[in-house]
């Protein structure tokens, strides 16, 4: 079955939890005793670049492990995109590549991607697969410049905000999945979509505390395929 509606989906770390990637704010959310706020800021990078490179190198390496792969929730969203006859946009706060690997195409990685590096001088991005450190140089500048992880840190502006906000204003349905709603601007998307007349739905392990018209709670790999089947019918299986 197909679906004639403009849909915006926002995902957070919870959708990748059952793929083996830790969320940020659960009990295990520390990395070598550091909270995310201590490594994911421009100030942290300026003060201790080696630590920050190491943090992102470890997480990039983890993506290559055989057991880290898209789960049923990622696959269900790729199926929803195919069934959607209106405008569809998947906005992820995640920096992993699991939505891309599941086949999602209309996708904005608003907080950047582990598999990209950015030139500190020109801000051009390149795809990387290995480690990055202060000796990794760009190929776009003369003399070559150092590179940083292409990640949106606290205090920086998330990517493609104009495109996201315009999709939210046109949305008939907004679905937030696996996000605690503690980090802005993503935490404000449901309200923006609702003001423009969209129905808002939360799919999460537990209620986030933000206001939604409806919510379904449990592990993403159960709740997301179930909800998407309720939209596009039983013909779809993952």
User: H or E element: which one contains 82?
Assistant: helix 72-83
Residue 46, helix vs strand vs coil: helix
> In 153-167, which positions are buried (b, 16+ CB within 10 angstroms) versus exposed (e)?
beeeebbeeeebbeb
Euclidean distance between CA atoms 71 and 15, whole angstroms: 8
Which residue in the list 34, 74, 99, 111 is annotated as catalytic?
111
As a whole number of Å, the end-to-end CA separation of the chain is 15
- Output 205 or 232, the one with its CB closest to ligand BJW: 205
Residue nearest ligand BJW (C-beta atom): 14
Catalytic annotation present for 195: no
Provide the minimum distance between the beta carbon of 107 and ligand BJW in the complex, in angstroms, as a whole number: 14
- Residues lying near ligand BJW in the complex (CB under 6 A) are found at 12-14, 17-18, 23-25, 36, 40, 93, 95, 111, 151-158, 161, 178-180, 182-185, 204-206, 208, 219-220
- Output 156 or 213, the one with its CB closest to ligand BJW: 156
Phi and psi angles of residue 90, each rounded to the nearest 5 degrees, phi first:
-105, 120
Euclidean distance between CA atoms 103 and 74, whole angstroms: 9
Provide the minimum distance between the beta carbon of 143 and ligand BJW in the complex, in angstroms, as a whole number: 29
Provide the minimum distance between the beta carbon of 149 and ligand BJW in the complex, in angstroms, as a whole number: 8
Provide the minimum distance between the beta carbon of 160 and ligand BJW in the complex, in angstroms, as a whole number: 11
- Output 139 or 160, the one with its CB closest to ligand BJW: 160
Euclidean distance between CA atoms 208 and 228, whole angstroms: 20
- Output 139 or 182, the one with its CB closest to ligand BJW: 182
- Output 143 or 184, the one with its CB closest to ligand BJW: 184
User: Kindly report the CA angle at 16 between 72 and 178, in degrees rounded to 5?
Assistant: 95
Provide the minimum distance between the beta carbon of 183 and ligand BJW in the complex, in angstroms, as a whole number: 4
Phi and psi angles of residue 106, each rounded to the nearest 5 degrees, phi first:
-85, 80
Q: Which residues are identified as catalytic?
A: 111
């Amino acid at each position: 079955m197909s679906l004639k509606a403009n849909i915006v989906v926002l995902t957070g770390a919870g959708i990748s939890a059952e793929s083996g990637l830790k969320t940020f704010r659960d009990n295990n959310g520390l990395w070598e005793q550091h909270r995310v706020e201590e490594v994911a800021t421009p100030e942290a990078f300026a003060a201790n670049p080696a630590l920050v490179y190491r943090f992102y190198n470890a997480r990039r390496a983890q993506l290559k492990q055989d057991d880290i792969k898209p789960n049923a929730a990622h696959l269900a969203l790729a199926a929803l995109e195919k069934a959607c006859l209106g405008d569809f946009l998947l906005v992820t706060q995640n920096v992993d590549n699991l939505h891309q690997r599941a086949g999602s195409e209309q996708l904005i990685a608003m907080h950047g991607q582990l598999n990209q590096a950015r030139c500190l001088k020109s801000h051009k991005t390149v795809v990387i697969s290995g480690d990055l450190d202060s000796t990794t140089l760009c190929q776009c500048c003369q003399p070559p410049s150092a590179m940083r992880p292409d990640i949106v840190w606290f205090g920086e502006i998330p990517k493609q905000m104009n495109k996201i906000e315009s999709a939210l204003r046109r949305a008939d349905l907004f679905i937030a999945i696996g996000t605690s709603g503690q980090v802005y601007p993503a935490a404000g998307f449901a309200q923006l979509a609702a003001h423009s007349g969209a129905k808002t739905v939360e799919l999460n392990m537990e209620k986030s505390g933000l206001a939604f018209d409806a919510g379904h709670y449990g592990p993403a790999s159960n709740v997301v395929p179930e909800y998407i089947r309720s939209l596009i019918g039983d013909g779809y299986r993952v």
